[in-house]
Amino acid sequence: MKMSETYHIIEMMKATGNQPGVIARWKAAVAEWAHKNRGQVYADAVNAWLPLWQPRPLYTVEELAPLWPALAIATGFTNHWPMVLKSARRLEHELDFHNLPHVLVDGQKYYVVERLHFWKNASEEELKNVLA
């Protein structure tokens, strides 16, 4: 049985959980994929929004949902953009089910995607600074 892309991505986040810069490296991998697939609709779309993607260790589920297919590519789960994207609510359920750490900042839930052990125990001031 093949694992889901959500499980795969979370496992990759946990496996690289104490490494700073993993999201920046994954962004570079997505940029390379988009460059190699220039002319394809999804690759062109990725090239359009990629400059707006700011690598950081915390994201809301609303921010992660549109990035999720790119993360599936960056982590080696697939080389193809999926035909159906997950809603933020479905992704939130899957992230919680697979125990991806999260923190609350001003009542907003942020999922920790890199340096898991550091950010899940960070002070509120550190959290706000990284999100500023």
- All residue ranges of the chain with pLDDT < 70 are 1-2, 17-18, 84
The confidence score (pLDDT) of residue 53 equals 86
Domain coverage including residue 11: 5-131
CA atoms in the 13 A half-sphere facing the CB of 33: 25
Phi, psi torsion values for 47, nearest 5 degrees: -60, -30
**What domain count does the chain have?**
1
Buried b (16+ CB within 10 A) or exposed e, 43-58: beebeeeeeebeeebb
The confidence score (pLDDT) of residue 80 equals 84
Output the six-digit token pair for 12: 């990759």
The confidence score (pLDDT) of residue 121 equals 92
The confidence score (pLDDT) of residue 17 equals 64
Asked if 119 contacts 112 with a C-beta cutoff of 8 angstroms, the reply is: yes
DSSP state letters, 12-32: HHHHTTT-TTHHHHHHHHHHH
The confidence score (pLDDT) of residue 2 equals 65
